[in-house]
Structure 1
Amino acid sequence: MTEPRPRYVPPEGHARLRLTVAWDGAAYAGWQSQPSVPSVQDVLQEAFLRLTPGVFRPVAAGRTDAGVHAEAMPVHVDVPAGFQLPLPRLARALNAHLPSTLAVLDVEAAPPGFHARFSCTERRYVYRLLRAPQRHPLWAGRALHVSAPLDVGGMNAAAARLTGTHDFAAFATQEDRQTVRELRRLAVVPGGDLWEVHVAGESFLRHMVRGLVGTLLLVGAGRLEVGAVTDILASRQRSQAGANVPAHGLYFSGARYDGQDGG
């Protein structure tokens, strides 16, 4: 029987808010605060500090890498209990202090026990491919341009072999954690010139999603047999899998919180 997840409470004298945040990854070195480079976490906290002192550092459902976009990232922030600004006005007030590359889409009181990172039961990503003969300026920095034909059937056959609980060491970069993960969904969805690779799981290793997509592209191009992905998994060697695709095609697209309001 699955153990219930811990319930988290904000620090004494504070209230927890749940936000949905979106950003253009090209402007940031990732979510996590880092010295001397812009991070989403720092820029968002600075906007909060314009409205109230005593706010804690924001916490996100996932720590995206440099260049990765977010369409709908759950975030929690602990603010002083006496914070006066009404929640229906807070997103607009924050956005007035944020750059055009970052926006708060909505704000609500967090349900009891909510933690944006540790309460999360599924994280979802989309990788976008521009499958067209020529590049398109409106998709520059938003999708990976692939001009050659791709075998979508072969890619999805390989994806099916990768789906499930496996040791994904061969798809991770400089990973010190244990490398067994449950990959709940990996599917290539063609659609005209714009194709999407949908990925879902509770948690991912560093660069794992980009390594999976890079490997599927080798299968789609006929440079890797479908069955070879099973051998790649067994090898646990990063050199056996495809190269990481560029970050600019990757989007954090959503998250799930089982048993909590708004999940």
Structure 2
Amino acid sequence: MTQPRPRYAPPEGFARLRLTVAWDGAAYAGWQSQPSAPSVQDTLQGAFLRLTPDVFRPVAAGRTDAGVHAEAMPVHVDVPARFGLPLPRLARALNAHLPPTLAVLDVGTAPPGFHARFSCSERRYVYRLLRTPQRHPLWAGRALHVPGELDAAAMNAAAAQLTGTHDFAAFATQEDRQTVRELRGLSVVPGQPVWEIHVAGESFLRHMVRGLVGTLLLVGAGKLEPGAVTDILASRQRAQAGANVPAHGLYFSGASYGKEERG
């Protein structure tokens, strides 16, 4: 029987807000606060501090790595209950204090018990591939350029064998947590000129998504048979899987929450 998720509340005298945030990952050393590099978390908190001195550090659904983009990241922030700026104006006010690389898309009151990270039941990513003979300057930093041919059917055959609950140690980098995860979705969607690899799961290991994509690219290029991915899983050895693809093609695309967190 599935245990109910814990319910979270802001500190006494504070109200919890829920935001949707987007950013260009090239400008940041990831979401998490860094002592000597710009982070999304610190930049967003800095904008809040321009509006109220009493604000807690924002919390996101996922801790993206340096260079990874976000299209729609759920975030919660605890502000004083007396915070007077009307919510319909808050996103614009915050964006006035944020650089062009980071934007708050919307703001609302968080439903009771909501926690952006711990209440999250699914996280989704998209990896984009520019499938053209020549590079394109408008996709630089937005998609991985792959000039060679790729076999989408073979990639999806391998993806089907990776989907489900497995030990993904072979796809993780320097991971000291337990490595069994449920991969709920993995699919390759060809397009013109950009292909997308969609990935979904409740949680992921360090660099797991980028390792999965790197392995699918080996399959697509004919350097690895689709069935070989089961042997890679069983090996639990990182050297058996494909290399991590660059961060600039990866986007956090969305997250899901239980009914009680949606309100």
TM-score scaled by structure 1? 0.99
CA contact 2:113–2:261 (8 Å) conserved in 1 = no
Q: Which amino acid aligns with 1:199?
A: V
Determine the C-alpha separation between the residues in 1 that align with 2:127 and 2:2.
Answer: 31
2:121 is the alignment partner of 1:139: no
Please provide the CA RMSD for this pair: 0.7
SS at match of 1:232: helix
Shift of 1:53: 1.1
Q: How does 1:1-263 map to 2 (within 5 A)?
A: 1-262=1-262
SS at match of 2:188: strand
Shift of 1:262: 3.6
The size of the alignment, in residue pairs, is 263
Determine the C-alpha separation between the residues in 2 that align with 1:134 and 1:229.
Answer: 30
Determine the C-alpha separation between the residues in 2 that align with 1:208 and 1:67.
Answer: 15
List per-residue Cα deviations over 1:194-231 (Å, max 9, x = no partner). Answer: 00000000000000000000000000000001111000
CA contact 2:70–2:253 (8 Å) conserved in 1 = yes
Shift of 1:190: 0.4
SS at match of 2:175: coil
TM-score scaled by structure 2? 0.99
SS at match of 1:121: strand
Determine the C-alpha separation between the residues in 2 that align with 1:227 and 1:16.
Answer: 47
Could you tell me the percent identity over the aligned residues? 86
Determine the C-alpha separation between the residues in 1 that align with 2:179 and 2:84.
Answer: 45
List per-residue Cα deviations over 1:72-100 (Å, max 9, x = no partner). Answer: 00000000010000000000000000000
Determine the C-alpha separation between the residues in 2 that align with 1:260 and 1:19.
Answer: 17
Point out where structure 1 has 5 or more consecutive residues left out of the alignment: none
Determine the C-alpha separation between the residues in 2 that align with 1:115 and 1:262.
Answer: 11
Determine the C-alpha separation between the residues in 1 that align with 2:99 and 2:191.
Answer: 32
Shift of 1:52: 0.4
SS at match of 2:150: coil
Point out where structure 2 has 5 or more consecutive residues left out of the alignment: none
SS at match of 2:21: strand
SS at match of 2:224: coil
CA contact 2:14–2:78 (8 Å) conserved in 1 = yes
Determine the C-alpha separation between the residues in 2 that align with 1:189 and 1:182.
Answer: 21
Determine the C-alpha separation between the residues in 1 that align with 2:261 and 2:26.
Answer: 32
Shift of 1:10: 0.2
Determine the C-alpha separation between the residues in 2 that align with 1:243 and 1:36.
Answer: 28
CA contact 2:33–2:42 (8 Å) conserved in 1 = yes
Shift of 1:261: 4.9
Shift of 1:193: 1.2
Determine the C-alpha separation between the residues in 2 that align with 1:164 and 1:261.
Answer: 25
Extract structure 1 runs of 4+ deviating beyond 6 A.
none
